[in-house]
Amino acid sequence: MNKRAKFKIIENVNIAKDVFKIVLEGDTKDIKNAGQFINIELESLYLRRPISICDYDDKTVTIIYKVVGKGTEIMANLKNGVELDVLTGLGNGFDLDCDGDRPLVIGGGVGTPPMYRLCKDLIAKGKKPIVILGFGSKDDLFFEEEFKKLGVDVYVSTNDGSVGTKGFVTDVMKDLNDYTYFYACGPMVMLKAICGATDKSGQVSLEERMGCGFGACMGCTIKTKDGYRRVCKEGPVFRKESLIWE
């Protein structure tokens, strides 16, 4: 069930190069799972902007976003106290039932935020996640410390080697062999590489371009092995086995 409500900005801070964290205060009771997203209305823009939920509690939701265009630029300039019109309860989110108790949790760039809440929920279920965070460079890195504070093993890769392993998240995966399952969110090219790099089952969260964000316009439809699926409604999380990579 999705819900439209007003949320007040109580924090909007720069946490890495072009990356900001917003904490919103409002009614979060329709948020059920890690991996769901909210859709934010912004003044002067026709389409809302979808952003994954990084964390939430009974009265706040935290999101992390990168400035890539007009909408996210507007968001970066919003001050504390501003009220936003937000749709919550969107998307399916991750299924916490996974093979074994050592799931690999992989976030690439601004695909990292939903993996934070996922990690917390997996730990609460008695799992022992291993985390890989992939970024372009040291300046892009965020949330490494927050993940470490959860008490999990955290590996970082950067394309230029300025921090962690030089290369891609798949370069870190090569040296890990005790994981039992995987969860991933990030750029398509990364998700495809991860699915090809492991014979383990897993779930990936896709960030398709969206129109309505709640299942009405069909604008985000993709072809899967189970038929056509709307990323905003039946997704954004899909099982590896159901995806068709073009």
Ligand X SMILES: Cc1cc2nc3c(=O)[nH]c(=O)nc-3n(C[C@H](O)[C@H](O)[C@H](O)COP(=O)(O)OP(=O)(O)OC[C@H]3O[C@@H](n4cnc5c(N)ncnc54)[C@H](O)[C@@H]3O)c2cc1C
Residues that bind ligand FES (CB under 6 A): 210-213, 215-220, 230, 232
Strand, coil or helix: 114? helix
Percentage helix, strand, coil for the chain under 3-state DSSP, each rounded to 5:
20, 35, 45
CB of 60 to ligand FES, least distance (A): 26
- 18 binds ligand X per the rule CB under 6 A: no
How many amino acids of this chain bind ligand X (CB under 6 A)?
Answer: 20
The DSSP-derived string for 199-216 is SS-EEEE-----SSSSSS
* Binds 219: which of ligand X, ligand FES, none (CB < 5-8 Å by kind): ligand FES
Which residues in the 56-115 window bind ligand X by CB under 6 A? 64-66, 68-72, 110, 113
Of 63, 104, 89, 76, the closest CA to residue 194 belongs to 104
CA distance 25 to 61: 7
CB of 179 to ligand X, least distance (A): 24
Work out which of 16, 28, 49, 157 binds ligand X, going by CB under 6 A: 49
- Residue 196 near residue 212, CB atoms below 8 Å: no
- 184 binds ligand X per the rule CB under 6 A: no
The residue (of 65 and 168) whose beta carbon lies closer to ligand X is 65
Backbone dihedral region of 200: left (phi > 0), alpha (psi from -120 to 50 degrees) or beta?
A: beta
Residues in the chain: 246
Work out which of 178, 209, 244, 246 binds ligand X, going by CB under 6 A: 209
Task: Summarize as ranges the residues that interact with ligand X (CB under 6 A).
Answer: 37, 49-52, 64-66, 68-72, 110, 113, 207-210, 236
